[in-house]
Amino acid sequence: MIKSGKIIIYPNAERDDGFDVARKVSDILRKRNRETALCPMIGDYNAAGVSGAGLGMRALEDELPFAEMIITIGGDGTMLHAARTASVFGIPILGINTGAKGFMAELEAEDIGLIDYVADGIYETEDRMMIDAAVLRNGKEVYRDFALNDIVVRGDNKVIDLTLYGDNQKITQFSGDGAVVATPTGSTAYSMAAGGPIVEPLARNIIVTPICAHVLEARSLVLVSDRRVTVEIGYKKNNPAYLSADGGKHTDLQCGDIVNVQKSKIITQFIRITDRSFYQRVSEKLGER
């Protein structure tokens, strides 16, 4: 059955020079009588030396209520950026990789002929777990955010003291560069680079990975998804620290701050139209070249 919702094309102007890929995707969809709207990731697209002429340039927030899906064009960062909005509205995402790794993307730029399937509504969706983070300072909540990949607590170029808890039970205490609290989707990102395990993205777990811990027993842990993970910033080393969600804007943390992370009620939906397995993606994207 052919769908009727509008298809949002969400290119990163820095990853899609001149919106060339966006134009090709739009042409394919329009030839199959699908309505599209170009909503660039970078607001001032003229500053990037590109033009949206003929592509139905729109503001993303205006188009979301009428959207069937969002097609991102860029790397994993572009998909993460789109997920923050799409997940709230329950809109699935199809990623076209024009970046470096593009681990989360379903298609490469040379695969855009497969957009025909999207136009005809021939695709599946898979649910990806997300996590919420709240910062408590002197017992009061001062910050809240959510993430598809990870919540990262780090020292600002200096070692910090952290204590990790699972449902108020102490897991470990260490000095180090910080800690990553990741979803299965985020297990192949910063958590993996810090020595954490690769977890199948459809699993329901929370992965806790210390970053450069100065103690032998601080190891990455895979917890059940219903666990509440707490990261407490210690007083022993009064060094600046920060929190970031999915690599976004840093939020300053203070000694004594408590960061609670738990499974979110919000999910991200990814569109799948190929038969490439997770193991193939790991081999193609993360294997030695």
Give the residue numbers annotated as catalytic, written as ranges: 76
Amino acid found at 165: Y
H or E element, residue 10:
strand 6-11
SS3 82: helix
> Are 240 and 155 in contact, with CB atoms under 8 Å apart?
yes
Is residue 287 helix, strand or coil? coil
Tracing tokens 């895979």 back to the chain, one arrives at 222
User: Looking at the DSSP assignment, which residues form a beta bridge with residue 206?
Assistant: 223
Distance in angstroms (rounded) separating the CA atoms of residues 264 and 132: 5
Tokens found for residue 271: 């569109």
**CA-based diameter of the chain, in Å?**
64
Q: Give the separation between CA 162 and CA 134, rounded to whole angstroms.
A: 16
Q: Sign of dihedral through CA atoms 277, 279, 280, 281? A: positive
